[in-house]
Structure 1
Amino acid sequence: MLIQEVINAIEEIAPLNYAEDFDNVGLLVGDKNLEATGVLVCLDTLEEVVEEAIKKNCNLIVSFHPIIFGGLKKITGKNYVERVVLKAIKNNIAIYATHTALDNSIVGVNDKICEVLELQNRQILIPQKNTIKKLLTFVPTQDADKVRNALFEVGGGSIGNYDHCSFNVQGKGSFKGNEDSNPVIGEKGVTHFEEETQIGITFARHLEGKILNTLFAAHPYEEVAYEITTLENTNQHIGIGMIGELETAQNPLDFLKFVKERMQTGCVRHSKLIDKKVKKVAVLGGSGAFAIPNAIASGADVYITGDVKYHDFYKAENKMIIADIGHYETEQFTKNLLVEFLTKKFTNFAVVLSVCNTNPVKYL
C-alpha cells in the first residue's frame, strides 16, 4: 500500500480544503508514492517520535500538529523543528499533519472530546462558511438521468442531512458548431435546437474537482455548459467546536471534577461557578478563547477549551462557566481517533499509537 492511499483515507474524514487559511496541513515531509511499511500516529512530531517510528518500522508519521508551521529557510539542525525534518528525511520517513482540517470535521477533535465526556445531541459550534457549492448544467433531456445519477454517485446533491437533492427545469437549448466542432447532436454549421434539462445540484466544496470530472465524463456534449456558485447556507457538518448535552444535569463542581478525571488533566482553571446545574456543554480543542462569545450564544452552561488568558475568564459574565483544562489535554485523544479510524480502514496493516507524551506543560 502506498503512503498516498493512507492519506486518501485520512482526507475522507478531514479534507484539507476545510483547514484554516493560517494552517500548514497535508504531507510535510516525504514521498507520497512510496510503499507504506507502517503508520505511527501522534499528536506532535518530536525527535523522540521519529525515533519511535524508526524502531517500529513505520515510514509514515501521521501527526495532529504540523512540525513545520512557518517557512524554513535553512535546515541545519539548530532547533527541534529542523532536527525532526533532518532525521525524518535521513530515515526516509514521511510526515503528514491534519490539524485544523480535523478540527473542522464533524467526526474530528471536538467530537472525540464529546465522546469522552458522554455528551449527546452534538452539533457544530461554529459552522464554517462558504463550504456548500451549487452546480448548474444543461443536459439533453434523454441523458439527464444518466448525468444526474453519476453526480449523485460522487457526492453531488448532498446538503445537511439530505442527499440526492436536485432541481430540474425543462427548456430548449440552441447551438451551432464551427468548422472545428464535432457535435454529438446536430451538424456543424447548422443551428440546432434541443430539448434540454437544466440540472441544479449542491455539493461540498472539497468535492468540486470530482464533481467536474464526473460531469465531463457523463455529459454527451463536446462542450459542456455549466456554472458553479457558492451558497450562503449554514453547513451543519463542517466547522470548529461542538456543543452537546449531558444525559443528566450535574452540579457545576461535580461536573468539573468529572471533566478533570475523564480528560486526564492535572489542572482545571475555571471562571466563577454559577448557581445553575450543568446540562449543555460546549467544547473546542486547543486554543479556544476566541469562541467564548459563540459558546455563550449557544446557551452553554460550561465551555471547555485550552489556553485561556486571565482577562478572558471575565468574558463568562456569570452566563456560563469557562473551563481551561489545557491545550494538550483537549487534543490528546485525537491520536486515538485516528488510530481507530485507520485500523478499521486497513485491517491488515500496522497502525501504531505513539506512546510518547509530547505535552510540553508539566504540573506539580
Structure 2
Amino acid sequence: MKIKNILTVLEEMAPLAYAEDFDNVGLLTGNADDEATGVLVCHDALESVIDEAISKNSNLIVCFHPILFSGLKKITGKNYVERAVIKAIKNDIAIYAVHTALDNHKQGVNKIFCDALRLTNTRILIPKENYIRKLVTYTIPENLEKLRNALFDAGAGNIGNYENCSFNSQGLGTYQGNEDSDPKIGTPGEFVEEKEIKVEVTFEKHLEGKILKALFSNHVYEEVAYEIYNLNNSHQNIGLGMTGELTEAMEEKAFLEFVKDKMQAHGIRHSAFNGKQIKKVAVLGGSGSFAIKNAISAGADAFLTADLKYHQFYEAEGKLLLTDIGHFESERFTQNYIADFLSNRLEIQVAVTSIDTNPVQYL
C-alpha cells in the first residue's frame, strides 16, 4: 500500500476542501508514492513524535495540528518546527495534517466533543457559507434517467438527511447547428425545436470537477448547455462548533465538574455563575472566542471552548456560562477518532502516539 492510498482514506474522513482558507492541511512532508510501512497518529507532530515513528517503523504521521502552519524562509533547526521538519525529511517520514478539515466535518472534532459529554440533538453552530453550488442543465427525456443518476452518483443532490434530490421541469429547447455540427436530433443547418427536461441539482463545491465529468460523460448532446451558480445558503452539515443538549439540566458547578471529568481537564476557567440551569450546550474545540456571540444567539446555556482572553469573559453578559477548558483538552479525543477510522479501513499498522504533546502544564 502506498501512502497516497492512505491519503484517499483520510480525504473520506475529512475532505481537505472543508478546511478554512487560513489553514495548512494535507500532506506537509514526504512522498505520496512511497510504500507505507505504518501510521502513527498524534495531536502535534513534534520531534519526539517523529522519533517514536522511527522506532515503530511508521513512515506516515497523521497529526491534527499542522506542524507547518505559516511559511518557512529558512530551515536551520533553530526552533521546534524546523527541527521536526528536518528530522521527518531526513528519515523519509510523511506528515499529513487534518485540522480544520476535521473541525468542519459533522462527525469531526466537535461531534467527538459532544459525544464525550453525551449531548443529544446536535447541530452545527456556525454553518459553512458559500459552499453550496447549483448545476442547471438540459437534456431530452430519453437521456434524463441516465444523466440524473450519474450526477447523483458523483455526489450531487444531497441535502441534509436526503439524497438524490433534484428538480425537473419540461420545456421547449431550440438550436441550429452549423455545417461542422453533429446534432443528436436533426441535421446541420436545420432549426430544431425539441422537448427538453431542465434538471437542477445542488452540490458541495469541492465536487464540481467530479460533477462536470459525470455531466459530460453521460449527456447525449455534442454541446452540453449548463450553468453553475453559487448559492448563499449555509451548509447545515458542515461548519465550526456544535450545539447539543444534556439528558437532564444541571446546576452550573455540577456541570463544570461533569465537564472536567469527561474531558479530563486539569483546570477550568469560567465566567461568573448566574444561577442558570445548564441544558443546552455549545462547544467549539480549540480556539473559539470568535463564536461567543454565535453560542449566545443559539440559545446555549453554556459555551465550552479554549484560549479565552481576560476581557472575553465579559462577553458572556450573564447570558451563558462561558468556559475555557484548555485547547488540548477540548480536542483530546480527536487522535483516537482518527486512529479508529484508519484502523477500520486499512490493513496496515495504525497506532496512537504514547507521547503527551500538550504544551500546557498545571500545578
Q: Distance in 2 between matches of 1:62 and 1:189?
A: 59
Partner of 2:361: 362
Q: Which residue of 1 aligns with 2:266?
A: 266
SS in 2 for 1:339: helix
**Residue equivalent to 1:306:** 306
Q: For residue 293 of structure 1, what is the amino acid of its counterpart? A: K
Aligned letter for 1:133? R
**Unmatched runs of 5 consecutive residues or more in structure 2:** none
For 1:185-334, what aligned pairs fall within 5 Å after superposition? 185-334=185-334
Tell me the SS of whatever aligns to 1:43.
Answer: strand
Taking the aligned partners of 2:137 and 2:9, their CA distance within structure 1 comes to 30
How far apart in 1 are the matches of 2:205 and 2:295? Answer: 26
For 2:192 and 2:40, how far apart are their aligned partners in 1?
60
Structure 1: distance between partners of 2:31 and 2:43: 21
CA distance in 1, matches of 2:125, 2:289: 13
Q: How far apart are residue 32 of structure 1 and its match?
A: 1.5
Calculate the TM-score normalised by the size of structure 1.
Answer: 0.96
Structure 1 stretch displaced more, 170-179 or 270-279 = 170-179
* TM-fit CA distance, 1:150: 1.0
Give the Cα–Cα distance (whole angstroms) in 2 for the partners of residues 33 and 345 of structure 1: 19
- In 2: Cα distance, 1:141 partner to 1:19 partner: 39
Equivalent AA in structure 1 for residue 250 of structure 2: Q
Q: Residue type of the partner of 2:210? A: K
> How has the CA–CA distance of structure 1 residues 186 and 31 changed in structure 2, closer, same or farther, with 3 Å as cutoff?
farther
Q: CA deviation at 1:179?
A: 3.9
Query: What's the offset of the Cα at 1:270?
Result: 0.6
Cα offset, 1:343, TM superposition = 1.4
Deviations along 1:259-296, one digit per CA (max 9) or x if unpaired, are 11111111100111121211111100111111111111
State whether residues 13 and 341 of structure 2, in contact with CA within 8 Å, keep that contact through their aligned partners in structure 1.
Answer: no
Distance 1:185 1:29 in 2: 53
SS in 1 for 2:237: coil
Q: What amino acid sits opposite 2:42 in the alignment? A: C
Q: Which structure 1 segments of 5+ residues have no match? A: none
Q: Tell me what 2:45 maps to.
A: 45
Equivalent residue for 1:77?
Answer: 77
Local SS of the residue matching 2:340 = helix
CA offset at residue 78 of structure 1? 1.9
* Cα distance between partner residues in 1 of 2:184 and 2:139: 12
Range 285-294 or range 226-235, more displaced = 226-235
Residue equivalent to 2:352: 353
* Aligned alpha-carbon RMSD (Å): 1.3
SS at match of 1:237: strand
State the aligned residue count.
363
Code of the residue aligned with 1:280 in structure 2: it is K
Counterpart residue identity of residue 186, structure 2: G
Partner of 2:143: 143
* Distance in 2 (alpha carbons) for counterparts of 1:335 and 1:6: 16
